[in-house]
Structure 1
């Protein structure tokens, strides 16, 4: 979908468990445009540092690693692949081992500008190649792509977010699974909120609350916002 004034750029932010990743992929697939998971970039860098024996508390060493990160990301929302230094780490970067360490990288103030610029470059390249891009993360609407045509904040209640992430990670949303997930989800949000704002929508950013929406309804809600804003842009 290419607008008369250029590619369709959609920026989506949100906390853990809000549905932003799954919804963003579905939206990109529906619109026939490319997809960028910016969180995967921080996870990939975390994996790379650990693989290379870089101490994640050594901020300068992590910055140096970010500058030379040999990262390949697929842009197909229906076939996501993350390759670092020739190794497919698509599944590995989603493990608890990486999830428990990624905030050390994501809150490194020297790393963020490097990856943010890489994200801008990737968004531009994807948009040129596919006619548009859906990029999702935590500071896409405010820092990486504040000029995106469509900017959304996906949010949900703490209960809903914990339930979803528990089902995703543990295959269950019972009390034990939720308890096992609570620290990982809430601590990650708390840590990352020190360097990016993703709990309250900035000016011009549309909030979509998915607390009471199922997956299909969440996708439809985002597509409705896209249709409205893209339509206004053509008027």
Structure 2
């Protein structure tokens, strides 16, 4: 695999983990939250620099379902990250303490909601590249052959992750975090591991859902193409 592709994938996965850490505000505290936020900004800038060619080709070539979805998701992810950065700087009390701001509660609401939307868009974004990630892992582990047992096992694991993620989406009231002000809303004595596992399962919904939806669309396209011949 090309080195740049591997770097891009690692940055995507690292940003997902760091976004989870940043969202765990009441567990990590404000200092770690802001420092992680700065690292996220740097990685986001690097990510866009490495993918700058995508912007020059956005309106070129053939538009199919996968490409349209990619453009929409990437632009929404870009907007959500921009909103997170723009709203986060004025409410910073440690990294950017000298930026004056009034009505910071409104900015905090925008900052939190944008974080959750960015979390979802990032999951979909990774899901669109999940096939490439799997192929990378196979090459790194030198697993080149196919195995029906392995395929079934991975599908079962994906289903279990999605089921657990859906359950936690309801238990953590994810819908309200996307629509109304809810200052992260978990107990300060929650374990870091529990928070991480629950939210990895939630993002797993969007990674798995996107991956298998695209596989289904690809099969439908191939079936349609074979009928037209």
Same-fold status (TM-score > 0.5): no
TM bucket normalised to smaller: under 0.3
> Counting strand residues as a fraction of each chain, which structure ranks higher?
1
Question: TM-score, length-normalised on structure 1?
Answer: 0.24
Question: TM-score, length-normalised on structure 2?
Answer: 0.24
